[in-house]
Structure 1
Amino acid sequence: MKFLRQTLESFRFAWQALRSNLLRTTLSLLGVTVGIFSIIAVFTIVDSLEKNIKDSLSGIGDRVVYVQKWPWIFGGEYQWWKYFQRPEPSMAEFKFLSERMETAEAVVAMDFKGNVTVEQGSNSMKALVQGVSIDYNKISDVPVEDGRYFSQQEMDASRNIVIIGAEVAEKVFGMVSPVGKTIKIGGSKFTVIGVQEKKGASLVNFGGNPDTKCLIPIGAFARMYHAINPSIDIAIKAYPQDEGLQNLEGEIRGLMRARRSLKPAQDDNFAINRLDAAAQAISSLFAVLTLAGWVIGSFSILVGGFGIANIMFVSVKERTNIIGIQKSLGAKNYVILFQFLFEAIMLSLVGGGVGVLLVYLLSFMSLGSLDIILSVGNIILGLGVSSIIGVVSGIMPAISAARMDPVVAIRSK
């Protein structure tokens, strides 16, 4: 009980000391404020970027691999010119895989054409047109708000039908429901059968922004554009029990090599790309940014720590006579130690708290599609680092004060 009372008394002395020197207190906490702000701001922005990108990637579905000409990540010493010699995936290969795959939940063919004019009457806009096969909604989220999804008969007949994004519906049709109405895509007439829910802006839209996208059957897409470039991307989704996708990738590799008549000694002339590989590359980039945040903030925190230590030594010098009186009245060494140590910690915590507050205010700024979110973990990190800086900066002045001889201290001026 006595220890608790003395500890609380030490807090009171520390608080009074900080209040009696507001200007000095303010100047000394600036370094810590800038340092904590730098670190937590970088961490918060990096976390927000990573969350935004991963949310965008998760929207395309998990357990999905893509059979393409080019790998998403280049590694090893594979000569770059060999990639140019690879054939593009074709509709024939899509049909071959869809008929023979046993470990796949869905096999999808898709292709893209950007900057296509979409018009209805006097209204028009530029949109991304994507040709897809029937199982596209199994590998990617297609939330149809108004209307319906494609049917197998419509896909087989390659009919001119389309599911449009929310922004396309707003700009081309206005407030009128577009379902059942005709729209021109690249000069060809299509009947609207569905409208997707509005997703809103996103920092990364892998495969295009759904709000400004038009989904059409892959056969209709081929009639319009494959005379120029008859290539597709093939997306394949694994069953949930295929952990790590080893079975899926192994079967794809075997079938593709057989289809392209590759000999055992020959390298693959196709790429099997996975979203988690892209996510790992993104995580590596963010790790570098996080390290940069630590380096930048550490310099400011170092300066702030020296500032606090200097101020604490000055405080000890100014209050030497008071320390002597306290010790002569029976104050233990740890009571004097706690007074100055608590003062340093409180000073550093105030500086860190202000830095965290500035980051919180930063989260209200509009940065386009990026939502900045200050997490509880980053708040705890900021205050924790501030406390450590306070302990490190105040421990030596506090020890020097606690070791003073009361007689010598009382005689000092």
Structure 2
Amino acid sequence: MIYLRLIAESFRFAWQALSSNVLRTVLSLLGVTIGIFAIISVFTLVDSLERNVRESMSFIGDKVIYVQKWPWSFGPGTPWWKYFQRPEPTIREFRLLDRRLANDAGLAITSQRSNNVFKHGNNSYSNATLMGVTYEYNKVSDIPIIEGRYFAPQEIDAARNVMIIGDEAAETLYPYGSPIGQELKVAGQKFTIIGLIEKQGENMFGMPNLDQMAIIPYGSFSKMFDTGPNGIGSSIIAKGRDDDPGLMELEYELRGHMRTIRGLRPRDEDSFAMNRPEMATEAVSGFFEVIGMAGWVIGGFAILVGGFGIANIMFVSVKERTNIIGIQKSLGAKNFFILFQFLFESVFLSLIGGGIGLLLVFLLTVIPQDIMKVSLSLGNITLGLGVSAVIGMLSGIIPAVLASNLDPVVAIRSK
């Protein structure tokens, strides 16, 4: 009970001291406000940017390995001409892998072609991406269908002209009704729409996303375009199991079967690349770590200035209240009570500055954004308040110790 009374009394003293010198208080907490605003705004933007980047790349899939002709990253001095001579993955290789793989949770082959024109009556949609997939594509990648359905196995096996269409393409071609059951024409072929993909919105890189895509059976795609070893590139995608950490078993098995299928000898180099989405996300994470460090540096200088400002106001506060401190000690106040009183005041002042900084960051998040949704996370709020409390404690510890060690007789006679 005594501790609650101590906190309440310290809060009262702190509030009286701060409210009696409003201008001095505002100027002192300004540095902390700017510092917390700089740090938390950078972290909030970084977190939101990273989240939106990952969401923009969600169609790539999670816990998957891509078997492709080209690697996703090139090191210095990479002999790119060797990759150019490689054959594309084929439907034959996919079928052999489908029979032999034991450590996968799903396997699909896809191929896509950009700059297509979709037509329905007098409406047309240009620069569309057409993707051909096998049945288990919905296991290796996220296809959020909001209306209609996914392909049936019979439709994939028979290479029927059915299609799942993206939101932007559907709105352009069918502005006044549902696209389900409607027909459209692409590359001279008529397709019936059986599914509509949920709206994804613009992504961070301006890359084509599911909104601009249409998905059809791989067999139907192959009838329209050349997907052979030297034709339009295909990708074999293998989904890993949850009990395969790092997908090491799947990678070893995939590499071994692909080398066997392509007749490679033990000393021959792989004639295919095995790509993972982690390659892109790790590069993105590294980039964001650098930005985060820059935020700490920029905000750190402002917080340092704010800390000195708080320390200065606490020294002034101790000097102004020396007589009161002497009276309190003469009436039996312990040293820890005086120490806690001034330390609480310093932390309270710093928390006010940090809170205002967080409020400014929150106001930034409510500004409507078309491309990137910015949100202030609980973790960043906790970080901001935590940093503010630490700065307040460090800034106020020396003035608080000096106040608690004052001789009561000398303190009373200070006036």
Question: How high is the TM-score relative to the length of structure 1?
Answer: 0.90
* Distance 1:301-1:205 versus aligned 2 partners, 3 A rule: closer
What's 1:404 paired with?
A: 406
Structure 1 distance, partners of 2:146, 2:319, is 73
Partner-residue secondary structure (3-state), 1:249: helix
Query: Larger deviation: 270-279 or 341-350?
Result: 270-279
How much does 1:246 deviate?
A: 2.4
Following TM superposition, by how much is the alpha carbon of 1:312 offset from its aligned partner in structure 2, in angstroms?
1.2
Question: Of 231, 234, 255, which residue of structure 2 is paired with 1:232?
Answer: 234
Structure 2 counterpart of 1:142, one-letter code = I
| 1:162 has 2:145 as partner | no
Q: Aligned-pair distance for 1:79?
A: 4.1
Q: Structure 2 CA distance, aligned partners of 1:103 and 1:259? A: 17
Name whichever of 246-255 and 220-229 sits farther off.
220-229
Matched residue SS, 1:162: strand
| Contact 1:182–1:189, Cα closer than 8 Å, also in 2 | no
Aligned CA distance change for structure 1 residues 217 and 7 (closer, same or farther; 3 Å)? closer
Correspondence for 1:327: 329
Residue of structure 1 in register with 2:175 after alignment: 174
Q: Which amino acid in 1 is paired with 2:173?
A: V
Q: List alignment gaps of at least 5 residues for structure 2.
A: none
1:191-225 per-position Cα deviation (integer Å, ceiling 9, x unaligned): 22313242331535998422221112223323433
Correspondence 1:92-171 to 2 at 5 A: 92-126=92-126, 127-171=128-172
Q: 1:146 to 1:381 in 2, by over 3 A?
A: closer
Instruction: Give, in whole Å, the separation in 2 of the partners of 1:376 and 1:314.
Output: 35
Q: Which residue of 1 aligns with 2:71?
A: 71
Note the C-alpha offset of 1:307.
0.8
How much has 1:46 moved relative to structure 2? 2.1
- Show CA shifts across 1:89-132 (max 9, x none): 23343333234334334332211222322121221222221111
SS in 2 for 1:171: helix
Q: Which residue matches 1:39?
A: 39
Q: Is the 8 Å Cα contact of residues 166 and 195 (structure 1) preserved in structure 2? A: no
* Residue identity in the other structure for 1:303: V
Q: CA deviation at 1:383?
A: 0.9
Moved more, 331-340 or 196-205: 196-205
Q: Which residue of 1 aligns with 2:384?
A: 382
Structure 2 contact 180–196 (Cα < 8 Å) conserved: no
Among 282, 285, 299, the residue aligned to 2:284: 282
The match for 1:373 is 375
Q: What are the equivalent positions in structure 2 for 1:169-208 lying under 5 Å apart? A: 169-186=170-187, 188-201=188-201, 203=203, 208=208
Q: Which residue of 2 aligns with 1:216?
A: 216
SS at match of 2:214: strand
Q: CA deviation at 1:27?
A: 0.7
- Residues 4 and 92 of structure 1: is their aligned pair in 2 closer, same or farther, counting only changes over 3 Å? closer
| Distance verdict in 2 for CA 1:246–1:6, change over 3 Å | closer
Could you report, residue by residue, the CA deviation over 1:3-33 in whole angstroms, capped at 9, with x for unpaired residues? 6534432321111000000001001101101
Matched with 1:89 is 89
* Matching residue's letter, 1:211: D
Aligned 8 A contact 1:222 1:230 in 2? no
Percent of paired sites with the same residue: 54
Query: Per the alignment, do residues 139 and 405 of structure 1 end up closer, same or farther by CA in structure 2, a change over 3 Å counting?
Result: same
In structure 2, which of residues 349, 360, 363 is the aligned counterpart of residue 361 of structure 1?
363
2:115 is paired with a residue whose SS is: strand
Q: Is the 8 A contact 1:149 1:193 kept in 2?
A: no
Q: Matches of 1:2 and 1:99 in 2, distance apart?
A: 74
Determine the C-alpha separation between the residues in 2 that align with 1:239 and 1:326. Answer: 69
Aligned pair count?
A: 412
Cα distance in 2 between the residues matched to 1:353 and 1:280: 33
CA RMSD of aligned residues (A): 2.7
Q: Distance in 1 between matches of 2:13 and 2:105?
A: 69
Deviates more, 1:32-41 or 1:220-229: 220-229
Using the alignment, how far apart are the partners of 2:372 and 2:108 within structure 1?
31
Q: 1:241 and 1:171 mapped to 2: Cα distance?
A: 44
Contact 2:88-2:231 within 8 A present in 1 as well? no
Cα shift readout 1:251-299 (whole Å, capped 9, x = no counterpart): 2111221233322122222111122343333333322222222222111
Comparing 82-91 with 106-115, greater Cα deviation is found at 82-91
* Matched residue type, 1:335: F
Q: For the Cα contact (< 8 Å) 1:320–1:410, is it kept in 2? A: yes
Letter in 1 for 2:340: F
Distance in 1 (CA, whole Å) between partners of 2:179 and 2:8 is 71
TM-score (norm 2): 0.89
2:372 match: secondary structure: coil
Distance in 1, Cα, partners of 2:10 & 2:249: 66
Alignment match, 1:305? 307
Do the aligned partners of residues 256 and 25 (structure 1) sit closer, same or farther apart at CA in structure 2, a change above 3 Å counting? same
Q: Distance in 2 between matches of 1:191 and 1:78?
A: 42
- Distance in 2 of aligned mates of 1:338 and 1:103: 62
CA separation in 1, counterparts of 2:350 and 2:366? 25
SS in 1 for 2:129: strand
| Residue 248 (structure 2) pairs with residue 273 (structure 1) | no
Shift of 1:380: 1.5
Could you tell me which residue of structure 2 aligns to residue 291 of structure 1? Answer: 293
